[in-house]
């Protein structure tokens, strides 16, 4: 479903659908139906009652507005939901209605519903991130020899390769995706503990019901209920925040490379993407823009979640009640960033000629470090520094290349061979371990690709 207008720059259509009213209601009802099914199987409630509950646990016939109002009045989804479901079951079987929500508490249904939504969100997020990784791997391989300016503190610095830059993005995003997958694995556990986390209403069968319910819903079974222990969810929220930050870093770099004055790379346009309402010539970095918006938005939500972890005793007041909108915002923002950067990475164009031209425009000044290192070996630090300071000023004043200026300084040519001086500003001669580092960063994704092909 399309996102609401006010959320159109904060989510994707699949995630808007996932967190829609109907989807959330279905997750709540899935808990109630799963609980009834398991308890009937274990002989805790009559099979006939379970059948009636399961039949009624469908979104049709529920008043979303009434449920929403009831949640605000009751402080939880469980209270109005169990009431509405009980009434719906009672219209068919009054005796069965007594077994709705049997032995559960409101937080059990609310937490488990959230976990069920997160289970559905996981493949949506991971798919887009894997697409980013695959696209960056291709870019890195294709441009392993494409030399460009390195930039430090927003200023031109010694050269790197675009292959290394793409590999840097890839390495961070891959690490973050692996952490996110691990966080999902830990967080996707059922919540079932009854009033105070002992399942006392079910006698000695509480733990058995919890394990059976987890299996029924396709979730993990925790050691015990976790009503006021929100660490698993916190780890997931933090993992999303870190991933979104890395996607934002990639977006920041690309948006800067897209500036007209730089013009070294560009995200894909067309189909209404990147245009301006007043300036037809523009190609705006919209994929990067919405990703950066997400990267700005998520940290505050992460902080809100962490601050709410300090919950009271066995059931907290105000802490877990704030989580639904926060978690939904974090997941949708992360998903939007991943989907946007997947599109950007898959369609990114790289202008090798412009990269080369931007290096040439520095007139070799970015190789001052190289010249300085060579001179230090022969003349010492202070004299080398003084010579390079003189050469840099002369290069700027006379609009000459650094190599031309150095060739005119006797102290330099007596210390360094002229053949070396002439090639001092050749970019590919000063890349150090760039390719070794690039290969190391891409190695993990190459191995994964090979395993995937082999498994087929």
pTM score: 0.93
- Residue 132 in this model has a pLDDT that exceeds 80: yes
**What mean pLDDT comes out for the span 214-220?**
98
Rounded CA-CA distance 255/52 in Å is: 57
**What mean pLDDT comes out for the span 10-29?**
97
Rounded CA-CA distance 297/386 in Å is: 48
Angle between helices 21-41 and 206-217 (to 10 degrees): 130
CB 394 within 8 A of CB 365: no
Domains in the chain: ranges and CATH: 12-104+196-215 (1.10.275.10), 113-189+226-359 (1.20.200.10), 365-424 (1.10.40.30)
**What mean pLDDT comes out for the span 14-27?**
97
How remote is the C-alpha of 398 from its chain's centroid?
49
Q: Classify residue 310 as exposed, middle or buried by CB count within 10 Å of its CB (0-12, 13-18, 19+).
A: exposed
Strands 265-266 and 349-350: antiparallel
Question: Higher confidence at residue 446 or residue 152?
Answer: 152
How remote is the C-alpha of 29 from its chain's centroid?
29
Q: pLDDT band for position 272 (50/70/90)?
A: low
CB 362 within 8 A of CB 149: yes
- pLDDT value at position 445? 74
For residue 410, which of 394, 432, 389, 387 has the smallest C-alpha distance? Answer: 387
**CA neighbours within 13 Å on the CB side: how many for 66?**
9
Question: What would the two tokens of residue 402 be?
Answer: 């650094």
Rounded CA-CA distance 122/124 in Å is: 5
Q: pLDDT band for position 379 (50/70/90)?
A: confident
- pLDDT value at position 269? 78
Q: Which residues are catalytic?
A: 276, 315
CB 105 within 8 A of CB 32: no
CB 14 within 8 A of CB 23: no
- pLDDT value at position 43? 97
Lowest mean pLDDT among 74-83, 87-96, 314-323, 441-450: 441-450
The label of the residue with tokens 């974090």 reads 330
Q: pLDDT band for position 4 (50/70/90)?
A: confident
Rounded CA-CA distance 115/392 in Å is: 61
């Amino acid at each position: 479903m399309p996102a609401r207008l006010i959320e159109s720059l904060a989510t994707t259509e699949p995630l808007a659908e996932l967190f829609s009213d109907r989807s959330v209601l279905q997750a709540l009802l899935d808990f109630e139906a799963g609980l009834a099914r398991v308890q009937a199987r274990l002989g805790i409630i009559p099979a006939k009652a379970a059948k009636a509950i399961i039949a009624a646990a469908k979104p049709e016939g529920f008043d979303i507005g009434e449920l929403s109002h009831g949640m605000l009045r009751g402080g939880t989804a469980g209270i109005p939901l169990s009431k509405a479901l009980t009434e719906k079951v009672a219209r068919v079987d009054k005796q069965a209605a007594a077994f709705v929500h049997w032995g559960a508490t409101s937080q059990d249904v609310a937490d488990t519903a959230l976990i069920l939504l997160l289970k559905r969100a996981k493949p949506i997020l991971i798919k887009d991130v894997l697409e980013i990784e695959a696209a960056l791997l291709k870019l890195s391989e294709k441009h392993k020899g494409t030399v460009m300016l390195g930039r430090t503190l927003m200023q031109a610095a010694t050269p790197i390769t675009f292959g290394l830059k793409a590999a840097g993005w890839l390495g961070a995003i891959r690490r973050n995706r692996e952490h996110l997958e691990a966080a999902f694995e830990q967080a996707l556990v059922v919540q079932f503990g009854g009033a105070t986390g002992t399942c006392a209403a079910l006698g000695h069968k509480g733990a058995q019901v919890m394990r059976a319910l987890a299996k029924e819903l396709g979730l993990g079974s925790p050691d015990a209920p976790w009503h006021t222990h929100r660490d698993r969810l916190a780890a997931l929220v933090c993992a999303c925040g870190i991933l979104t930050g890395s996607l934002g870093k990639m977006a920041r770099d690309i948006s800067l490379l897209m500036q007209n004055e730089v013009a070294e790379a560009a995200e894909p346009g067309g189909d209404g993407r990147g245009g301006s309402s007043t300036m037809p010539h523009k190609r705006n970095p919209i994929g990067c823009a919405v990703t950066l918006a997400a990267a700005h938005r998520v940290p505050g939500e992460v902080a809100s979640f962490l601050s709410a972890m300090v919950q009271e005793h066995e059931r907290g007041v105000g802490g877990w009640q704030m989580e639904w909108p926060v978690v939904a915002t974090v997941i949708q923002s992360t998903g939007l960033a991943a989907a946007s950067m997947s599109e950007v990475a898959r369609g990114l164009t790289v202008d090798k000629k412009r990269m080369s031209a931007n290096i040439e425009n520095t007139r070799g000044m970015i190789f001052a470090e190289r010249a300085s290192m060579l001179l230090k070996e022969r003349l010492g630090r202070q004299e080398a520094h003084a010579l390079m300071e003189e050469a840099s000023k002369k290069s700027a004043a006379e609009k000459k290349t650094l190599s031309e200026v150095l060739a005119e300084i006797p102290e330099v040519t007596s210390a360094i061979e002229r053949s070396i001086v002439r090639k001092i500003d050749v970019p590919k001669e000063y890349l150090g371990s760039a390719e070794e580092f690039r290969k190391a960063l891409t190695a993990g994704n190459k191995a994964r690709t090979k395993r995937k092909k082999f498994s087929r």
